[in-house]
Amino acid sequence: MQLKIEPRREISRNLLYLTPFLAVLLTVVTGFVLFMLMGYDPFAAIYHFFVSPLLSLYGLSELMVKAAPLIIIGVGLAIGFRANVWNIGAEGQLTIGAIASGAVALAFWGDTGLWVLPLMCIAGVLGGMLYASIPAFLKTRFGVNEILTSLMLTYVATLFLSTLVYGPLKDPAGFNFPQSRMFTDAALLGVVFDGTRMHTGTIFALLIAVAVWVLMTFTIIGFQVRVVGQAPAAARFAGFSRNTIIWFGLLVSGGLAGLAGTFEVAGPIGQLIPVITPGYGFTAIIVAFLGRLHPLGIILSGFLMALSYIGGENAQVEVGLPQAVTGVFQGLLLFFLLASDFLVRYRVRVVRLVTETAS
């Protein structure tokens, strides 16, 4: 007896769209069993993890707040990923975008002009793009792997932010705490529902996802990105420049990460502090793949990952589950997704070992 893995002759596209849902289902089932074995009430745990956050306006609004940066970054990364441009440094680009827009907010502190927010957005996008242009330049000019450069630059960005909030951008009246002044109203995103933190940036997240979908599906630019990713030789044959697409993929994903950073500091945070993201830039990588690199799928997966953050906190409070449960669920989800993807593309066959049939 021997197990043999062989590619399936025909891969069902429908099944590929179904696997994320299957992965969620399996995650829930596994979580259920896990909680039971740990001695928790599994129904209550699952309820507080997956259901109760969705039952209050507050829970839903928090979901939007957490999903927005994941969706904005996720759709940007997906453009690059489609072209095999692996920007792993969205976290850093987000940080630089936040610094750039935060600097604008602080420079015009107290100003009431309507132009302050748009200017912050422009600065945030440009900041993210500028930061992503470093790996783009190194990749196109010297062939340096963008995975390494973009990832390492993340830590540079985080430390740069610390330098600023411990130094030049520190609030002069802030009792030496490492944080900037609170932004004034003109530099803050409006709240959609009173009493929640849901800001107008969350609406933009959805609009951006739709815009990226149009770009990727109906334009020659999206077409070029897909061809470069799927068949580099065919892209060259058609006269598409790979370097242009590398620049494009990194600049767009960097710019969107910068915008997400802008929305964070102009939205829920309202100032510059040493840590402005709980790892959105990295989680967005999972979001992008869970959403099948498809902008509309990324909206769904962005909400799902946001739910895992909120549900994890909720289950800690309500059922007393350990904090690690969020990470466990995110890991389980990714595991089941990859496993079911694999089984859609390949099948495992049990073959009998043929004994030597010598004549």
Partner 1 sequence: MNDPVSTTPARLEVQGVTKQFPGVLANDHVDFAVAPGEIHALLGENGAGKSTLVKMIYGVLHPDEGQIFWNGEQVSVADPRAARQFGIGMVFQHFSLFEAMTVLENIALGMDEPGDMRELADRVTEVSRAYGLPLEPHRNVYTLSVGERQRIEIVRCLLQNPKLLIMDEPTSVLTPQEVERLFETLRQLASEGVSILYISHKLHEIKALCDHATILRGGKVVAECDPDAETAQTMAQLMIGEELKTVSRRAGGNFGEPRLVVEGLHMASEEIHGVDLRNIALEVRAGEIFGIAGVAGNGQNELLIALSGERLAHHAEIIRIDDQPVGRMSAGARRRLGVCCVPEERNGHGAVPAMSLIENAVLSGHHRMELLNSIFIKGAEARRFAEKVVADFDVRTPGAEASAGSLSGGNLQKFIVGREILQNPGVLIVSQPTWGVDAGAAATIHQALNDLASEGAAVVVISQDLDELLAITDRLAVINVGVLSNALVTAEASVEEIGLLMGGVHGLDAHPAAQGGGETHAA
Closest approach of Cβ 244 to partner 1, in Å? 11
Q: CB-wise, 13 or 167, nearer to partner 1?
A: 13
Footprint of partner 1 on 11-30 (CB under 8 A):
none
Q: CB-wise, 118 or 236, nearer to partner 1?
A: 236
Closest approach of Cβ 116 to partner 1, in Å? 32
Closest approach of Cβ 227 to partner 1, in Å? 6
Q: How far apart are CA 106 and CA 85, in angstroms?
A: 34
Closest approach of Cβ 356 to partner 1, in Å? 8
Closest approach of Cβ 55 to partner 1, in Å? 42
Closest approach of Cβ 241 to partner 1, in Å? 7
Establish if 2 lies at the interface with partner 1 (CB under 8 A).
no
Q: Going by C-beta distance under 8 Å and a sequence separation of 6 or more, which residues neighbour residue 322?
A: 316
Establish if 9 lies at the interface with partner 1 (CB under 8 A).
yes
How many CB atoms within 10 Å of residue 268?
A: 19
Q: CB-wise, 37 or 358, nearer to partner 1?
A: 358
Footprint of partner 1 on 208-227 (CB under 8 A):
218-221, 223, 226-227
Closest approach of Cβ 352 to partner 1, in Å? 10
**82 neighbors 246 (Cβ within 8 angstroms):** no
* Phi–psi pair at 45, nearest 5 degrees: -60, -50
Footprint of partner 1 on 28-87 (CB under 8 A):
none
Q: CB-wise, 51 or 231, nearer to partner 1?
A: 231
Binding segment toward partner 1, per CB under 8 A, in 105-113, 182-190, 269-277, 350-358: 350-358
Q: CB-wise, 3 or 37, nearer to partner 1?
A: 3
Establish if 173 lies at the interface with partner 1 (CB under 8 A).
no
Q: Report the first-to-last Cα separation within the chain, whole angstroms.
A: 23
Tokens 């593309």, located at residue? 345
Q: CB-wise, 66 or 292, nearer to partner 1?
A: 292
Helices (H), 8-56: 13-37, 42-46
Q: CB-wise, 114 or 354, nearer to partner 1?
A: 354
Closest approach of Cβ 32 to partner 1, in Å? 37
* Phi–psi pair at 4, nearest 5 degrees: -130, 135
Q: How far apart are CA 219 and CA 268, in angstroms?
A: 35
Q: CB-wise, 126 or 215, nearer to partner 1?
A: 215
Q: CB-wise, 169 or 216, nearer to partner 1?
A: 216
Closest approach of Cβ 251 to partner 1, in Å? 16
**208 neighbors 260 (Cβ within 8 angstroms):** no
Closest approach of Cβ 203 to partner 1, in Å? 25
Stretch (H or E) spanning 131: helix 116-142
Token readout for 203 is 């609406």
Site size with partner 1, rule: CB under 8 A: 24
**165 neighbors 103 (Cβ within 8 angstroms):** no
How many CB atoms within 10 Å of residue 330?
A: 19
Footprint of partner 1 on 226-285 (CB under 8 A):
226-227, 230-231, 233-234, 236-241
The identity of residue 126, as a single letter, is L
Stretch (H or E) spanning 339: helix 325-345
Among 39, 114, 207, 356, binds partner 1 (CB under 8 A): 356
* Phi–psi pair at 41, nearest 5 degrees: -75, 110
Q: How far apart are CA 133 and CA 44, in angstroms?
A: 48
Ramachandran assignment for 195, one of left (phi > 0), alpha (psi -120 to 50 degrees), beta (any other):
left
Q: CB-wise, 133 or 241, nearer to partner 1?
A: 241
Token readout for 331 is 């890991």
Binding site for partner 1 (CB under 8 A): 9-10, 218-221, 223, 226-227, 230-231, 233-234, 236-241, 354, 356-359
